[in-house]
């Protein structure tokens, strides 16, 4: 047994040393491209690097930003739902979700361009050049566009010029889509909006108000089982 263990260790060491000094390059630890992407991305927790995280990705919203860090289990989903409901109940009753209206709403598709995202809010295309990316935009959301508790922001962008007061957020949550819609519908109602629910062309909510205020929400399931939420807001 001891001889077998020694031979096994020798094989491991010889394999580790292969490529050293013989002109070959050792295979990187993160051979999986998703793992490599997650390891090499600037950390969102570093304020000096947060704005550089996948620079300009907010203009397209294409692809996932990294590997999921939340498990998509029924228990975790229920806990996320209850956290959202408890936050809402702290300020009043939870509004029941309405039935979907007929027609395709203005919610953006998953691979929507910057122009498509702005169109969903009725914002002019001239706002595209002033959009900036950075997780700081997710920290300055109005009550109508608050993120559900336990949500993980994966993309964030916005603008604060006179003509373009915008927030464009994508986040993931273990809560089911129905719970996400319930949370955001109640939030929008309390902010004075009258959102409509759509089911054609993707599940979501949308609202328009006087003065140019607009709000749109799209929910979809990710391959990992989490719920992906695109949350768009334009201030009046």
Q: In 92-164, which ranges are E strands? A: 101-104, 132-133, 152-160
Over residues 108-136, mean pLDDT: 93
Does residue 59 carry a pLDDT above 50? no
Task: Check residues 64 and 28 and name the one with the higher pLDDT.
Answer: 64
8 A C-beta contact, residue 95 and residue 186: yes
pTM: 0.72
Strand partners, 148: none
- Report d(CA 1, CA 182) in Å as an integer: 62
Q: Which two tokens stand for residue 196?
A: 């409509």
Rounded Cα distance, 158 and 2, in Å = 63
- Give CA torsion, residues 84, 199, 155, 146, to 10 deg: -30
User: Per-residue DSSP letters for 25-47?
Assistant: -PPPS--SHHHHHHHHSPPTT-T
Instruction: Check residue 203 and give its pLDDT.
Output: 94
Q: In whole angstroms, give the CA distance from residue 202 to residue 222.
A: 13
What's the pLDDT at 69?
65
Confidence tier at 108 by pLDDT (50, 70, 90): confident
The pLDDT value recorded for residue 44 is 40
H-state helical runs in 90-194: 114-120, 177-190
């Amino acid at each position: 047994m001891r001889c077998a263990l020694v031979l096994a260790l020798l094989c491991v060491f010889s394999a580790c040393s292969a490529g050293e000094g013989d002109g070959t390059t050792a295979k990187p630890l993160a051979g999986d491209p998703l793992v490599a992407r997650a390891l090499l991305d600037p950390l969102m927790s570093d304020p000096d690097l947060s704005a550089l995280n996948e620079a300009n990705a907010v203009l397209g919203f294409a692809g996932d930003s990294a590997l999921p860090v939340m498990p998509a289990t029924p228990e975790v989903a229920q806990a996320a739902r209850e956290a959202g409901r408890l936050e809402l109940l702290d300020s009043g009753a939870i509004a029941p979700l309405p039935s979907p209206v007929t027609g395709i709403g203005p919610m953006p598709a998953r691979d929507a361009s910057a122009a498509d995202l702005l169109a969903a809010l009725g914002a002019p295309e001239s706002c595209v050049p002033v959009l900036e990316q950075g997780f700081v935009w997710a920290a300055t959301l109005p009550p109508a566009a608050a993120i559900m508790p336990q949500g993980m922001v994966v993309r964030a962008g916005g603008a604060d010029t006179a003509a373009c007061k915008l927030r464009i957020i994508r986040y993931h949550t273990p809560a089911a889509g129905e719970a996400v819609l319930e949370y955001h519908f109640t939030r929008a109602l309390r902010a004075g909006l009258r959102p409509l629910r759509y089911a054609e062309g993707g599940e979501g909510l949308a609202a328009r108000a006087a003065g140019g205020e607009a709000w749109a929400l799209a929910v979809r399931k990710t391959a990992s089982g989490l719920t992906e939420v695109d949350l768009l807001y334009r201030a009046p």
